Amino acid sequence: MAAKVLHAIYNDDDLVLQAVKQIRDENYHILEVFCPFPVHGLDKAMGLAPTRLAITSFLYGLTGLTVAVLMMNFMMIDDWPQNIGGKPSFSFIDNMPTFIPIMFELTVFFGAHLMVITFYMRSRIWPFKEAENPDVRTTDDHFLIEVEVANHSEEALVKFLNDTGASEVKLID
């Protein structure tokens, strides 16, 4: 059986940030907050862990750099060395200044494309996925906080959410 959830709708971003802090102080469980735009400090107020996407971006960039070095070493030095413009291809180190643009481009290419794929997988955003937005107004100018009722009194929680400045509170079964 799914737990009951209350949807509290707010009209102002400062109000929703303050409400999240008050709800967490009273030890209620916030399932999700839906906003039409990013609210600075909301992730910290909700107690979310910092993202590790920067680490994966760095690793993807290193992967791209490694692929670039191995690819150029194989193609230009081992497989088919050519004397281009009087610069013989006897070693990778001697020709590395000419390879720098390719190394940079593949580092950025791998980092950017793999980060997009990682973000979509982590956010569970798949092609042709239906939107999970519980209220259409949150894409325009309203903010919604989903609070789990669980072991708390429903009436007390509704009164508390109204006291935090919610313009409306709805029970979702």
DSSP 80-115: ----BTTB--S-HHHHHHHHHHHHHHHHHHHHHHHH
What's the average model confidence in pLDDT over 19-42? 93
- Is 132 part of any domain? no
| Whether residues 59 and 118 fall in one domain | yes
Residue 84 in this model has a pLDDT that exceeds 80: no
- Is 14 part of any domain? no
Do residues 115 and 56 make contact, with C-beta atoms less than 8 angstroms apart? yes
pTM: predicted TM-score of the whole model, two decimal places: 0.71
| Alpha-carbon gap, residue 88 to 69, rounded angstroms | 18
- Is 15 part of any domain? no
| Whether residues 96 and 157 fall in one domain | no
Q: Could you give the percent of the chain with pLDDT greater than 90?
A: 59
What's the average model confidence in pLDDT over 8-16? 94
- Is 60 part of any domain? yes
What region, left, alpha or beta, does residue 82 occupy, with left being phi > 0 and alpha being psi -120 to 50 degrees?
beta
Domain count, the chain: 2
Residue 27 in this model has a pLDDT that exceeds 80: yes
| Whether residues 66 and 26 fall in one domain | no
| Whether residues 58 and 96 fall in one domain | yes
| Whether residues 29 and 58 fall in one domain | no
| Whether residues 57 and 109 fall in one domain | yes
Which residue range forms the structural domain that includes residue 64?
Answer: 53-123
What's the average model confidence in pLDDT over 54-72? 96
| Alpha-carbon gap, residue 166 to 23, rounded angstroms | 12
